């Protein structure tokens, strides 16, 4: 029943919110965010706990301010995402400003294949629409299998309507398909700051150990593709901001596992720098650090 309710709510969002005028949608998103923040549910409390690692000297009042801004940013992501299928190519192009995009364009021109690795910041779906519509470049990504299956199917259909090829995270075939896309000079985009497999690479993140997925680094090592970190954030305008960071270098020595570990740590360091600059736009409402995951283990 809970799964059916969740699927129904998302369906209502896609069907209704995309029809609202912009000012109404923005006001509704802020209202929902503020209501959720005031209720102090598990997601809000976890967000604050995560932000306490990012801003260790923050007072309780400052953490509360950040979590409130974080919920507003998170809801902006959802309200935009519900409405993205109705946006024109021109609006999509004008709603995102990407710094140092030459790293991406040069990488694509090299025909080596490009991997974009992102944290849960800003609106990665909007960034994806910018890539497919403004740059005219298709790409492949991976989606977590959600429950119920109908909700997962809804997300896949939504992202495919935006021009993305979407592969399921589970099932074992995704890595091989991603590698083939890269060997043909294609583009792969992966959200890479939270390990969903429980077998990721251990990294230091804001001074504490956690695990991040090894996939981006392993794909780069296996295919020779260029690995580019990308970070996203909002400012006071209607235009989301982003930056393509310098390519992650492949270590000259070590085993493949050792090289992947160093490259994943480099991603974590880049993510941490951007998250520290824009903590309110990091949408991490789940447990992330190993210490928190161990607390939950019976």
From first to last of its 298 residues, the chain has per-residue pLDDT tens of 445 545 555 666 667 887 888 899 899 999 999 999 999 999 999 999 999 999 999 999 999 999 999 999 999 998 998 888 888 888 988 999 999 999 999 999 999 999 999 999 999 989 999 999 889 999 999 977 555 566 666 677 777 877 889 898 765 678 999 999 999 999 999 999 999 776 789 999 999 999 999 999 999 999 999 999 999 999 999 999 999 999 999 999 999 999 999 999 999 999 999 999 999 999 999 999 999 987 665 4
**What are 124's two structure tokens?**
């990665």
Could you tell me the maximum CA-CA distance found in the chain, to the nearest angstrom? 56
Three-state SS string over 134-199 comes to HCCCCEEEEECCCCCHHHHHHHHHHHHHCCEEEEECCCCCHHHHHHHHHHCCCEEEEECCCCCCCC
Sort 179 into a burial class: Cβ within 10 Å, 0-12 / 13-18 / 19+. Answer: middle
pTM score of the predicted model: 0.92
Q: Cα separation of 152 and 3, whole Å? A: 11
Q: Can you give the pLDDT at residue 107?
A: 96
Q: Can you give the pLDDT at residue 1?
A: 45
Q: DSSP letter at 214?
A: S
**Which residues lie below 8 Å from residue 109, measured CB to CB, with a gap of 6+?**
none
Q: Can you give the pLDDT at residue 253?
A: 94
């Amino acid at each position: 029943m809970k799964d059916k309710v969740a699927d129904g709510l998302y369906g209502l969002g896609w069907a209704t919110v995309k029809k609202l005028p912009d000012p109404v949608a923005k006001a509704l998103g802020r209202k929902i965010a503020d209501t959720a923040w005031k209720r102090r549910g598990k997601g809000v409390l976890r967000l604050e706990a995560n932000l306490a690692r990012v801003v260790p000297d923050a007072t309780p009042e400052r953490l509360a301010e950040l979590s409130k801004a974080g919920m507003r940013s998170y809801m902006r992501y959802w309200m935009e995402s519900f409405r993205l299928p109705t946006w024109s190519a021109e609006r999509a192009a004008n709603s995102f400003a990407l710094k140092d995009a030459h790293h991406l364009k040069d990488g694509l021109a090299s025909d080596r294949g490009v991997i974009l690795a992102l944290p849960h910041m800003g609106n990665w779906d909007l960034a994806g629409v910018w890539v497919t519509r403004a740059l005219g470049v298709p790409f492949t990504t991976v989606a977590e299998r959600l429950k119920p299956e109908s909700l997962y199917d809804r997300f896949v259909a939504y992202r495919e309507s935006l021009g993305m090829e979407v592969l399921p995270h589970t099932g074992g075939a995704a890595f091989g398909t991603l590698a083939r896309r890269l060997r043909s000079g294609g583009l792969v985009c992966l959200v890479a700051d939270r390990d969903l497999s429980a077998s990721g690479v251990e990294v230091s993140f804001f001074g504490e150990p956690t695990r991040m997925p090894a996939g981006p680094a392993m794909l780069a090592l296996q295919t020779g593709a260029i690995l580019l970190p990308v970070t996203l954030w909002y400012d006071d305008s209607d235009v989301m901001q982003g930056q393509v960071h310098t390519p992650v270098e492949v270590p000259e020595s070590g085993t493949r596992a050792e090289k992947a570990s160093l490259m994943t740590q480099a991603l974590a360091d880049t993510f941490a720098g951007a998250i520290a600059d824009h903590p309110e736009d990091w949408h991490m409402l789940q447990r992330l650090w190993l210490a928190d995951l161990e607390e939950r283990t019976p």
